[in-house]
Amino acid sequence: MFYLGCHLSASKGFLHMAKEAVSIGANTFQFFTRNPRGFAAKDIDEKDIAAFLEYTEENGFGKILAHAPYTLNPSSADEKVRDLALRIMQDDMLRMEYVPGNLYNFHPGSHVGQGAEKGIELTAELLNTILTPEQSTIVLLETMSGKGSEIGRSFEELREIIDKTNLSEKVGVCLDTCHVYDAGYDIVGNLDGVLDEFDRIIGLDKLYAIHMNDSKNPFESHKDRHEKIGDGSIGLEAMKNIINNPRLKHLPVFLETPNELDGYKAEIELLRENREG
């Protein structure tokens, strides 16, 4: 099964997102848990959730992916900023249990001059506070492009965060194609080499999801500007290789390309046409 979706607006609830996904040929989706600016989250609507669970079951959905507000910084030097990330993510963990067994992605943060080591420690500390043995959600560290002082720019840094996390079985990785290419992993010229490296350093069993985005910038630019599939420096051929790679084929793929719904629909069609088997 090819679980493919895109980022959708959560403003009209879970059932609405699932129906919107189906209308564009998707069988999963990503959404923000709350407004990335004001941090407001919708009240949990148990009727909406029950209808969503039934609808996604009937329609054979894969795991959905929640995305934490990208404005949070779990590795900030400022305790107040870290505390905000902690409280928001802790609340997100509780909310995620209404749709059990799914995925929650976040940006490991920016160390803002403290050094990557310190940033890694602070992010692991946050995970050690919010993760519980009872939770069914797997929390994913997103691979970052390394713009500014971002941590998570290398497989080694992600591995270190996981190593410092007590409940590491609740932690995984989401590979963003734009970010890793910008970070200097050549998924265009040497996808298998990159996957070997991922496997050696983190372990491919820790890879739970793919963010599929082309990049507006060249290899190793550390910029993080997403482009439509096929229109950027990564290109359609590389995307075809990714969705058909035997080591990646089981993973859900989420588009975060600069598109409205009709653009996403066209990209989903394009990728499904190019999927083998």
Q: Is 3 a catalytic residue?
A: no
Q: Is 182 in the site for Zn ion (CB under 5 A)?
A: no
Choose the stretch contacting Zn ion; rule: CB under 5 A; options: 51-59, 96-104, 224-232, 262-270.
224-232
At residue 153, φ and ψ (nearest 5 deg) are -85, -15
Cβ nearer to Fe ion, comparing 142 with 157: 142
Q: Is 262 known to be catalytic?
A: no
Based on CB atoms, which residue is closest to Zn ion, 170 or 211? Answer: 211
92 contact, one of Zn ion, Fe ion, none, CB 5-8 Å limit per kind: none
Q: Which residue's Cβ lies closest to Zn ion?
A: 224
For 182-231, strand residue ranges (E) read 207-212, 214-215, 226-227
Per the document, the length of the chain is: 277
Residue 224 binds Zn ion (CB under 5 A): yes
User: Distance between CA atoms of 192 and 163, rounded to whole angstroms?
Assistant: 24
> Which residues, in sequence order, are bridge partners of residue 190?
none
Helices marked H in 76-232: 79-96, 116-130, 155-163, 177-183, 191-201
Distance CA(72)–CA(202), nearest Å, equals: 24
Please tell me the distance from the alpha carbon of residue 177 to that of residue 192, in angstroms, as a whole number.
14
User: Among Fe ion, Zn ion, none, what does residue 224 contact (CB within 5–8 Å per kind)?
Assistant: Zn ion
User: Is 92 noted as a catalytic residue in this protein?
Assistant: no
Considering CB distances under 5 to 8 angstroms, the limit depending on partner class, which of Zn ion, Fe ion, none binds residue 211? Fe ion
Q: Which of residues 137-196 bind Fe ion (CB under 5 A)?
A: 142, 176
Task: Name the DSSP class of 244.
Answer: H
Q: Which one is catalytic: 182, 211, 214, 267?
A: 211
Residue 227 engages Zn ion in binding (rule: CB under 5 A): no
Catalytic residues: 37, 67, 70, 107, 142, 176, 179, 211, 224, 226, 256
